[in-house]
Copies of this chain bind each other. A is one copy, B any other.
Amino acid sequence: MTKPLRLGIAGLGTVGAGVLKIVRQKANALTQRSGRPIEVVAVSARNRDKDRGVPLTSYGWEDDPVTLATRDDVDIFVELMGGSDGPAKAATEAALKAGKDVVTANKALLAHHGQDLAALAEANGSVLRFEAAVAGGIPVIKALTEGLAGNDITRVMGVMNGTCNYILTRMEDGGLSYEEAFDEADDLGFLEADPQLDVGGIDAGHKLSLLASIAYGTQVAFDAVELEGIGQVTIEDIRQAADMGYRIKLLGVSRMTGRGLEQSMAPCLVPATSPLGQLQGGTNMVVIEGDQVGQIVMRGAGAGEGPTASAVMGDVMDIARGLRVTTFGQPASSLVAATSAKATTPAAYYMRLALLDKPGALAKVATVLGEAGVSIDRMRQYQHAADTAPVLIVTHKTTRAALDTAIGGMADTGVVSGEPVALRIEEV
């Protein structure tokens, strides 16, 4: 009989409980597939007495996750506590230093400390894996790191925050305002304790930065992700976009350009008939484009007990089978500190602005756009009751810099009320 692989699990929320259930219920299948019995030897959580729907009596208990992480009888430390610092970081570091392998679902930890942790893992001969940190149950880290390892990756896109996609979907199909859809998501328990992590795009930005590191062989650069949340998106934008054949998604896009690494997480328009446009509700999607493989689209549940536990178990099974891939697909020391570039790849933009009801106002806006080198594909002024008129503009392909110049110029015309909304139209 091969030696069992022994897990220590820190954090027993829904995902941790899900992992415990899988290990208990599928013991035979897991052993057959990996060649080794998989066992949980000990666990750690904040509250020992909480009912998690799974008995804990057969496992050792540690109040301190650092103690759990360094137990002699633990081979893999499974970190499911969350948080970019504090106990999650301390315990992960302790485990790696003790030569343990680590499996984590913690996107914030990796986005902030991935480079150091990957280097620490390699220095200690440990493996650090994080499939569950990105896009829930979709095995996208594996696809990008391993299956597509023969490609130069040219673009990675993703809708990776189910809560935002739920809110945007409900605004569209339920005719809800942003605030109403937000409240609905909150009532359903979809929002993080700090909702800005979701609707501000931070959580999805963490994930994008991890994918970019693997895709382009660069050090994780979360701070360089251009972040824009969905709070500015109105029901009017969603309707106008739909009218033109688009849907609005909180879309992450990263690409390596001659000027550097572009990473943005922002509401974008995508064709309604595209796979990204078809994505409804809380489902996630990642699109990977490689020079050899063309476009690969992966879709699945981005959160929840089963899908996230499935991803954790994928990593555990890999380690049980002897896989020793580096965290970001190549040695940490070889990851390049990429120059971060503001998104400069030309794109068409959707703009919405409120025009003061003055003679020649529309002409002034058109002139400002023209002077900035932004040409107009379509422009509509709507009927209005108030003293401002909504104007929608779709530009031809232009740079964000040119667009920002035009937006700056509009303020000086004195005919535009408030800040114009500008959303990129991403070709997918």
Contacts and interface: CB of A to CB of B under 8 A. Distances in A.
B147 A294 contact: no
A309 interface: yes
Nearest to A306: B292
Given A150-B314, A323-B322, A300 B293 contact: yes
A7 to B, nearest CB: 12
A388 interface: no
Interface string A299-310: 111001011011
Most chain B CB within a 10 A radius of its CB, from A148, A278, A292, A322:
A292
A275 interface: yes
A162 interface: no
Given A278-B275, A330-B33, A310 B293 contact: yes
A334 interface: yes
A142 B329 CA distance: 16
A147 B139 contact: yes
A292 B147 contact: no
Contacts of A29: 152, 217
Interface in A8-46: 18, 22, 26, 29-30, 32-35
Contacts of A310: 148, 150-151, 290, 292-293
A52 interface: no
A154 to B, nearest CB: 12
Contacts of A147: 131, 139, 142-143, 311, 314
Q: Kindly state the interface size class of chain A when it binds its partner.
A: 35 or more
A369 B295 CA distance: 46
A300 to B, nearest CB: 4
A291 interface: yes
B32 A330 contact: yes
B150 A309 contact: yes
B296 A138 contact: yes
A30 B301 CA distance: 32
B300 A300 contact: no
A153 B177 CA distance: 39
Most chain B CB within a 10 A radius of its CB, from A33, A143, A295, A306:
A33
A259 interface: no
A143 B142 contact: yes
Nearest to A288: B300
A316 interface: yes
A118 to B, nearest CB: 14
A137 B150 CA distance: 11
A236 to B, nearest CB: 25
B32 A217 contact: yes
A63 interface: no
Contacts of A316: 150
A325 interface: yes
Contacts of A152: 26, 29
A331 interface: yes
A21 to B, nearest CB: 9
A139 B33 contact: no
Contact of A292 (B297, B307, B325): B307
Contacts of A313: 149-151, 292
A179 interface: no
B321 A322 contact: no
A317 interface: yes
Given A142-B142, A296-B300, A321-B323, 5 more contacts: A146-B314, A147-B314, A151-B313, A275-B299, A295-B301
9 contacts: A22-B292, A35-B331, A139-B143, A139-B147, A142-B143, A147-B314, A150-B312, A275-B275, A293-B311
Interface of A: 18, 22, 26, 29-30, 32-35, 131, 137-139, 142-143, 146-152, 217, 273, 275, 278, 290-301, 304, 306-307, 309-314, 316-318, 321-325, 329-331, 334
- Nearest 9 pairs of A and B residues by beta carbon: A150-B313, A139-B147, A137-B293, A292-B306, A293-B310, A292-B310, A297-B299, A149-B317, A296-B300
